[in-house]
Amino acid sequence: MQLPFRRSRQTLQALEALLDVQAEWVHGYALSQQTSLASGTLYPILQRLAGAKWLDTKWAESETPGRPPRHLYRLNAVGARLAREYVDAETPPARVRSLKLAAAQ
């Protein structure tokens, strides 16, 4: 599959997390907690996915008064299909090895 971005372990982690909550809106902080990706890694991935039209995005007011709005993300129908293809294209040994490496860091 030809991707509009570079294939990486971090992109795989982000896509797996988005597939876990596929139809739900989720903010970047929740994704960073789920994936253990730093914001400097995660947010550029989310921007690339949104630019490639895999994600729908929107701003939502914070539930806590005085806090700034949050940027929310979710896979759209095309993005969910392509994300599933991307994740499935990874060979199981490579995925297990990369997840073990991520856990060891």
CATH classification of 9-104, choosing from 3.40.630.10, 1.10.10.10, 1.10.645.10, 3.30.1490.20?
A: 1.10.10.10
Yes or no: say if 12 and 87 are a contact pair by the CB < 8 Å rule: yes
Nearest CA to 70 among 27, 36, 103, 37?
Answer: 27
Rounded mean pLDDT, 70-76: 95
43/52 Cα distance (integer angstroms): 14
Residues 21-66: tens digit of each pLDDT = 878 999 999 999 999 999 999 999 999 999 999 999 999 988 889 9
pTM, 2 dp = 0.79
Domain-wise residue ranges, the chain: 9-104
Quote the pLDDT of residue 79: 94
For residue 92, pLDDT beyond 90: no
Average pLDDT over the chain, rounded to an integer:
85
Q: Is the pLDDT of residue 78 over 60?
A: yes
Distance CA 64, CA 48 (A): 29
- Alpha-helical (H) ranges within 6-91 are 9-20, 28-35, 39-51, 77-89
pLDDT for 63:
84
